[in-house]
Amino acid sequence: MRSHRIATVVAPGLALLGAASASLIHITSYAGTITTLNLTLPYSTEPATLTNLSATTACGEKPSWLTLVDDVLYCVDEAWGKDNGTLASFKVAPEGTLTLLNKVDTIGGPVSTVVYGDGGKGLAVADYGGAGLNVYSIANPSSLAPVQADVFKLPHKGVNTDRQEAPHPHQAILDPTGAFLVVPDLGSDLVRIFAIDKSTLKYTEVAPLVSAAGSGPRHAVFVKGKAKTFLYVVHELSNTLVGYETTYTADNSLGVKSLAFSQFWSSNTHGDNTTTIPDGTAAAEILLSPDSKFLTISSRFERLLTVPNYDRTNNTLLPSDPLITLAIDADSGALKHVQTRAAGGINPRQFSFNKAGTLAGVGLQADGRAVIIRRDAKTGILGDIIANVAIEGEVNCVIFDEY
């Protein structure tokens, strides 16, 4: 693991913000940039700061997702309107500069990646615009090697004819055993399941999880309970959250093991069926806390909350969408509402937690801004916005790079 030169001192009494170590923050924007900043945590009553260290346009015109593996950063370019997207690898220097190592074509419209396989030598890419999935060997980050690719078909348009005219894989995640790739497909109303050969990195599609017609599964997360495994799927088009108990089945007709799902939870994205979801709302991210005790969901375009103006000379409140936190019962998987908190602005497309779970970094796509929010790791409660930065274009991905 690399040793960065930047240091941060944290005053006694601010343990909520984590240990006295610095963090880089990497942020993508549809303006075509990856921006790397240094996060300095508060000392005494001073505000936190985000200091711009570097920026690069080498990922492409529409970077949309970042995955960090040690000191290598992987970025996908969604490349709107083009036949292909790209996957790029960057070396992260101690001072935060990014050096392009390699760049390869993907199926069109990549929006999510996940590391998998023996030794973490594989990277799976979900391609929203191109209706596909492709995987690469990242054993040598300077020579990304394609392993397998598939483009999916849709026999007919879905209920939402504008958004479900074709398959639209929106995310790739791993099950807790690392034996399956799980891909929510918004266009097909499916959560696609792929059995992995961890050695060769190749995959075999097995029976999918079928979502309600017109619901549009977008993102999902697995949770290991005390004795059971749960899968929670957030649906963008219906703004619903559905939970399933997950079991592992015997070998099927394809000669590989599979997953089976039994639904035990269904609610709106606020975790209940009483909160009114405004027209035009579009659920986005779902994230498991580092301690596996909480789910947090971002809901876009509700605009019902407010935050203080980031221009301190302006007393006008700014509209905000929410982040919703739910506590997980480790026995049953049932969820309990903990908090609905302003995300800091409009369209919180993606957000992430630091390793300690004491900070959340949120990308506010409609506002061209990223914010850092204090978080109580024990209660799951999100607190004050302690830092923010305006970045040109539509901010869509914020990740922590800790050392």
Give percent of the chain above pLDDT 90. 89
Q: What is the mean pLDDT of the chain?
A: 93
So what's the pLDDT on residue 27? 98
Chain segment 313-362, per-residue pLDDT in tens: 999 999 999 999 999 999 999 999 999 999 999 999 999 999 999 999 99
As separate numbers, helices (DSSP H) first and strands (DSSP E) second, the chain gives 0, 30
So what's the pLDDT on residue 373? 97
Query: What integer is the mean pLDDT of 276-284?
Result: 97
Chain segment 203-246, per-residue pLDDT in tens: 999 999 999 999 999 999 999 999 999 999 999 999 999 999 99
**3-class DSSP state for residue 118?**
helix
Chain segment 380-392, per-residue pLDDT in tens: 999 999 999 999 9
Chain segment 79-89, per-residue pLDDT in tens: 999 999 999 99
Phi and psi torsions of 118, nearest 5°:
-55, 125
So what's the pLDDT on residue 22? 66
The model's confidence at residue 250, banded by pLDDT at 50, 70 and 90, is: confident
Query: What integer is the mean pLDDT of 249-261?
Result: 82
Residue 24 has pLDDT above 80, yes or no: yes
Residue 259 has pLDDT above 70, yes or no: yes
Rounded CA separation 112/71 (Å): 19
CB 68 within 8 A of CB 401: yes
Chain segment 119-176, per-residue pLDDT in tens: 999 999 999 999 999 999 999 999 999 999 999 999 999 999 999 999 999 999 999 9
Rounded CA separation 187/130 (Å): 11
Q: Please work out, in degrees rounded to the nearest 5, the angle formed at the alpha carbon of residue 186 by the alpha carbons of 332 and 111.
A: 100
Hey, where are the domains in the chain?
Answer: 42-49+123-402
Residue 15 has pLDDT above 60, yes or no: no
Q: Please work out, in degrees rounded to the nearest 5, the angle formed at the alpha carbon of residue 217 by the alpha carbons of 216 and 222.
A: 170
Among candidates 362, 340, 392, 367, which has minimal Cα distance to 34? 392
So what's the pLDDT on residue 44? 60
Chain segment 283-303, per-residue pLDDT in tens: 999 999 999 999 999 999 999
Reading the block at residue 148, the tokens are: 């397998």
For the domain bounded by 42-49+123-402, which CATH number is listed?
Answer: 2.130.10.10
Structure pTM? 0.94
So what's the pLDDT on residue 47? 76
Q: In sequence order, which residues have a C-beta less than 8 Å from that of residue 8 and are 6 or more positions away?
A: 20, 21, 22, 23, 39, 40, 41
